[in-house]
Amino acid sequence: MLLEINGLTKYFGGLFAVRQFDMQINEGEIVGLIGPNGAGKTTTFNLITGVLRSNSGTITFAGKDITGKKPHEIAKLGIARTFQLNPLFGDFTVLENISASFHLYPRSSLLDIYFNTATYRLNEASILEQSLEILKLIGLDKMKDELSKNLAHGHQKMLGIGRALAVKPKLLLLDEPLGGMNPDEIDFTIRAIRKTQQKGVTILLVEHNMRIMDFCEKVIVINFGKKIAEGLPEEVRENKEVIRAYLGGEKVA
61 binds other proteins (CB under 8 A): no
The answer to the question of residue 67 lying near other proteins (CB under 8 A) is no
R_g of the chain, CA atoms, integer Å: 19
Q: Which stretch binds other proteins (CB under 8 A): 34-42, 60-68, 74-82, 202-210?
A: 74-82
Nearest-angstrom CA–CA distance, 178 and 143? 20
Q: Where are the alpha helices (DSSP H) in the chain?
A: 41-48, 71-77, 94-100, 110-114, 118-137, 153-165, 183-198, 233-238, 240-246
Least separation, in Å, of the C-beta of 204 and other proteins? 15
Considering only 89, 188, 224, 246, the residue that binds other proteins (CB under 8 A) is: 89
102-141 positions binding other proteins, by CB under 8 A: 103-104, 108, 110, 113-114, 116, 120-121, 124, 127-128
- Minimum CB–partner distance for residue 9 and other proteins (Å): 18
**Residue 81 lies near other proteins (rule: CB under 8 A):** yes
Binding residues for other proteins restricted to 6-25, rule: CB under 8 A: none
- What strands lie across the sheet with 64-65, from one edge to the other? 15-25, 3-12, 56-61, 64-65
8 Å CB contact between 7 and 31: no
> How would you list the strands of the sheet with 30-34, edge to edge?
79-81, 171-175, 202-206, 30-34, 218-223, 226-231
Where along the sequence are the contacts to other proteins (CB under 8 A)?
49, 51, 70-72, 75-76, 80-81, 83, 87-93, 95-96, 99-101, 103-104, 108, 110, 113-114, 116, 120-121, 124, 127-128, 163-164, 166-167
